[in-house]
Amino acid sequence: MPTLLRMPAVAANESDTLLSSWLVESGGSFTAGQAIAVVETEKAAADVEADADGVLVRTLVAAGTNVEVGDPIALLAEVGETVSDIEAALVELGVTSGAAPEASAPTPPTPPAPTTAPLAVAAAVAHEVVPAAHSARVFASPIARRLAKAAGLSVESLNGTGPGGRIVRRDVEAAIAAPPTASVASAVATTTAAASFVDIPHTRMRRIIATRLQSSKQTIPHFYLHSSCRVDALLAARAELNEHSGVKVSINDFVIKAMAWAHQQVPAMNVVWGDDAIRQFASVDMSVAIAIDGGLVTPVLRSVETLGLTQIAAAVQAFAARAKSGHLLPDEMSGGSITITNLGMFGVEEFAAIINPPQAAILAVGAVTREPVVNGEAVEIESVMRFVLSVDHRPVDGVIAAAWMQAFGKAIEHPILLAS
């Protein structure tokens, strides 16, 4: 029995999602875990993976179309299954001309007059938009398409070196690094002389980031707590741990663990604001801000209180690698009550961040600096880190946030507490 592939709920609070590209064409087979399509979330591209082996009988939506969550985007069949009447199968599955999403691609040639209900027209049009075998189809990874667009390159003009000739990041970077021809160089020189600026069109990711952060500042009553902690003990513990561990632990991993420890000590911080209630969580789920080309993603680390430092390090490293290649999963992009963002690697000593809704807080982490510190009657030079906690005042009062900051500082300055 054929089944429908429906647009997944990629991110919280989004009613529709952009179907960026198909990775399997109509009539093509796929295996369990293989990416069938690429969709754009609010901050990144994500793969839609197959649950089991099968065949993509027909795509119902063209690449580049915004689709309502839950709407059908393709008809699937089991391996070896024959679907003799596709239109009848769609009708049996409840797909009507009014239910199927419309493609926002260029109008295809007029199909032959249908011999059945209007559904046949809609299905034929969708089928023509994404043919079963199109010799001009170019496959490219999401990050390759983003890089090419930013550089003003057409992926159709590039040579792919990925699996099956797919265009990948290195292909775009090679094209960008290649010296321009004389005519291109002349055109660039002319353009540079004629204009002192360039307009970079907004990407969908950039627009959504702007919208969400603007809404955050306008609708969430932020307040901020600043703190500094001595981290010499933490640095020593990290050095000793890395000496005996196969997974290298960063300062950021210690900070993540300390945040989870503070959430356990002050559970009133582990909340989000809702229309009818404050929701308090039993486990500590935390977003980690990761910069990618053209934006920022915040995958969620689950049950951080149960993870050791090396487990946190391995998970964050895996997030970073998959974020940069555009392979984060949809369910990894939602949830959590707090985010960590770190600009210390750029030498930024202190900054305040905007809350990632619907979370209740975000911790901004600065660089380690060597500073004079008063210890009793003596002044000593110690390693210091500064932190700024941005808090949503609706579910969290100042005294709660202050108690959390105190617990967090205790864990940072006494990292032995994080060993349990």
> Phi and psi at residue 61, in whole multiples of 5°?
-135, 140
Strands lying side by side in the sheet with 300-301: 222-230, 378-392, 361-375, 338-342, 286-288, 300-301
User: 43 by DSSP, 3-state: which?
Assistant: coil
Give the contacts of 404 (CB within 8 A, at least 6 positions apart): 262, 263, 265, 266, 269, 389
End-to-end CA distance of the chain: 52
Catalytic member of 134, 244, 393, 414: 393
338 bridge partner residues: 286, 361
Per the CB < 8 A criterion, the answer to whether 229 and 405 are in contact is no
Residues in CB range of 79: below 8 A, 6 or more apart:
29, 53, 54, 55
Distant-in-sequence, close-in-space partners of 353: CB < 8 Å, separation ≥ 6: 339, 341, 362, 363, 364, 388, 390
| Catalytic residue list contains 134 | no
Q: H helices then E strands: how many in the chain?
A: 10, 18
What residues act catalytically?
393
